[in-house]
Structure 1
Amino acid sequence: MTGPAPRAAAWWAGLINDIPTVKELIDRTVAEPERLVRQRLTGLLEGTLEETPRKKTMRAVA
């Protein structure tokens, strides 16, 4: 094989540090949002929640 595809595959292969199980992958994926929700709820209940600017969304005009 020649061309850019094999070289690109070899380059990407160097970026893989681990291959998690499905359970580990789901646990990692759920952990970060769960941590953020807990942090924000705690801040809301304690009155220390910092306001973050929200993105303005465009609404359709009927």
Structure 2
Amino acid sequence: MSTSTYTVTGMTCGHCEMSVREEVGDVDGVQNVEVSAQTGTLIVTASGAIDDAKILHAVEEAGYSAVPVS
């Protein structure tokens, strides 16, 4: 299991959170997605290594932008 945290910009409400959660949840290997519009945080837990590029692309597909938190 691995966990990665991202900062997401542009989210303002629960619908935003749901859109990000659905897109990121469709990425292969992702087991859990926690997202907060209030804090602008996305936490992804996966069964194996997390491919940041795939997560960032999924966030973009939802209509937002994200960067990994170091």
- TM-score bracket for this pair, using the shorter chain length: under 0.3
Q: TM-score, normalised by structure 2?
A: 0.24
TM normalised by structure 1 equals 0.26
Higher helix share: 1
> Which one has a larger percent strand, Structure 1 or Structure 2?
2
